[in-house]
Amino acid sequence: MTSSARTSDFYVFEGPQTLSLELIPLRVRYKLDCCEIKLHLQQWQTFNLQEKQQLLQLASDSESEIQAYRAYLQRLVETYFKSPVDAHPASGTEVWRLLHNWPEAIVQQCELQGLALPALSYWQGLHEADRHALFILGRSKHSQTEFVQAMRLFCDA
């Protein structure tokens, strides 16, 4: 990812509702998938601003950081909702982790948006978090503008 793709913890194409932390930022969504937890929007919106910022800023690169992230999130959910977090087990074969072809959601979204599908080397050259963001945007029914901006940014599309 180029240094201009993400400003601090947000991608430059994320909208105001995400920047205000009303919606879950793509970077947090990536961390949630890495630590295998499903967080519902209502849960996210219940957390206070400091807790949301903590979830945005905590590292999740190593296995120990992922464990710490998971533990922090579990404490938050148990505190607010008196229940454990919802598990979202990873298989290791999530389409955003695979490099042999473009995910079908991205192919279809490119077709819908009238974008030519870039060479596979663009997909293969992206950082895993950026592939995850592009996949999330590609399958979304709500963020076509962000998808187009992400494709232009990441793939010169």
Q: What is the pLDDT of residues 100-126, one digit of tens each?
A: 999 999 999 999 999 999 999 999 999
- Looking at residue 119, its pLDDT comes to 97
Check residue 142 and give left, alpha or beta (phi > 0: left; psi -120 to 50: alpha): alpha
User: Which residue, 115, 133, 103, is CA-closest to 29?
Assistant: 133
One domain, residues 81 and 101? no
Q: Are 113 and 147 in contact (CB under 8 A)?
A: yes
Residue 157 above 90 pLDDT?
A: no
| pLDDT bracket for residue 5 (50, 70, 90) | low
One domain, residues 26 and 82? yes
Structural domain for 83, as ranges: 12-87
One domain, residues 17 and 80? yes
Q: Are 58 and 51 in contact (CB under 8 A)?
A: no
- Looking at residue 1, its pLDDT comes to 39
The contacts of residue 105 (CB under 8 Å, 6+ apart) are 95, 135, 138, 139
One domain, residues 118 and 61? no
Residue 134 above 60 pLDDT?
A: yes
Across all residues in the chain, what is the average pLDDT? 92
Domain count for the chain: 2
| pLDDT bracket for residue 8 (50, 70, 90) | low
- Looking at residue 76, its pLDDT comes to 97
What tens digit of pLDDT does each residue of 78-106 get? 999 999 999 999 888 899 999 999 999 99
pTM of the predicted structure, to 2 decimals: 0.90
One domain, residues 16 and 75? yes
- Looking at residue 156, its pLDDT comes to 87
Q: Are 23 and 61 in contact (CB under 8 A)?
A: no
Identify the residue whose tokens are 């895993």: 128
- Looking at residue 94, its pLDDT comes to 94
Q: What is the largest CA-CA distance in the chain?
A: 48
* Residue 7 lies inside a defined structural domain of this protein: no
